[in-house]
Amino acid sequence: MPKKNRKLYSSRSQYHKKSIEDCVTTIAISDFWTNLSTSLTEILDGSNLSLILCYGLGNFMDSLQSRYQLALLLVIKKEFNVDNCLVYDPKFTDAEQVHLAEIGCDLISENEEGKRRLLPGTFVYMPHCPKQLLNNLLWANWNKDVLINSVVLCNSIDLTVTSTPDRILDKYAHYVLKIAPFAKEKQLSKHFVYEDIFNDMSLHYFPKDKLEESNNIYWERGREPVYDDEELEFITKFECLSFQN
């Protein structure tokens, strides 16, 4: 890279670093965080988080929403002592990928469409993500023992199920609909500096006693979900391959 460009890149990178640090500070001293960390501590009930898995942060170098969402990830990582943090968004730019690596996040190298098998103690973070992503995650982990040991921070499942027409749920969110009776959720506080960053999101967990109300047939996993192209927000692995070519 020519010297002039290197200098420009470095000063931009410093600017973004500072801007993310400011967001981290704002969150760490907020009532919003006090509320969230209390809820998460209650859910964990003495167990630890082993890993953060984050899909769909978006372009945090351009978007204020994404920047604060990244800052929340960093605050959770620090305050709950989570060393391992995996992130993926097909829209991350090269500069964002470099930045994420610098701040201790590992990039998932391919679009797994949300179908990663969860390890015990995984905290899944999917801020304002398309329904299909959560649906795929649930499909890939459609097992009581796996879900009992996971916490998912994403758009409220209850709100999704009550506000989306059945036709759409059936098509794009069959497993979201199926998990709804067994998921418990703690809404995030509505009082954050900006209203459109953590709105409509909840911490979801799957208590053993609730899951055990269901019979084994309920947990038989159906066929892998397939979607048509109508919903533009969800990016498939085939679309990613065609961007690259």
- Alpha carbons within 13 angstroms on the beta-carbon side of residue 113 total 17
For residues 122 and 217, give the distance between their C-alpha atoms in angstroms, rounded to a whole number: 25
* Size of site (CB under 6 A) for ligand SAM: 23
3-state SS class at 108: coil
Q: Sketch the per residue contact string, 163 through 202, with ligand SAM: x for CB under 6 A, - otherwise.
A: ----------------------------------------
Q: Map the footprint of ligand SAM across residues 81-120, applying CB under 6 A.
A: 88-91, 111, 113-114
Q: Sketch the per residue contact string, 5 through 44, with ligand SAM: x for CB under 6 A, - otherwise.
A: ----------------------------------------
Cα separation values, 207 from 36, 119, 124, 152, 182, Å: 18, 17, 16, 13, 8
Q: Cα Rg for the chain, rounded, in angstroms?
A: 18
Contact status, residue 223 vs residue 230, Cβ threshold 8 Å? no
Q: Map the footprint of ligand SAM across residues 47-76, applying CB under 6 A.
A: 55-58, 63, 65-66, 69
Contact status, residue 205 vs residue 124, Cβ threshold 8 Å? no
Compute the least distance from the CB of residue 213 to ligand SAM, in Å. 32
Beta carbon nearer to ligand SAM, 126 or 211: 126
For residues 97 and 106, give the distance between their C-alpha atoms in angstroms, rounded to a whole number: 9
Choosing from 129, 134, 140, 176, the residue that interacts with ligand SAM (CB under 6 A) is 129
Given the rule CB under 6 A, which residues bind ligand SAM? 55-58, 63, 65-66, 69, 88-91, 111, 113-114, 127-130, 133, 233-235
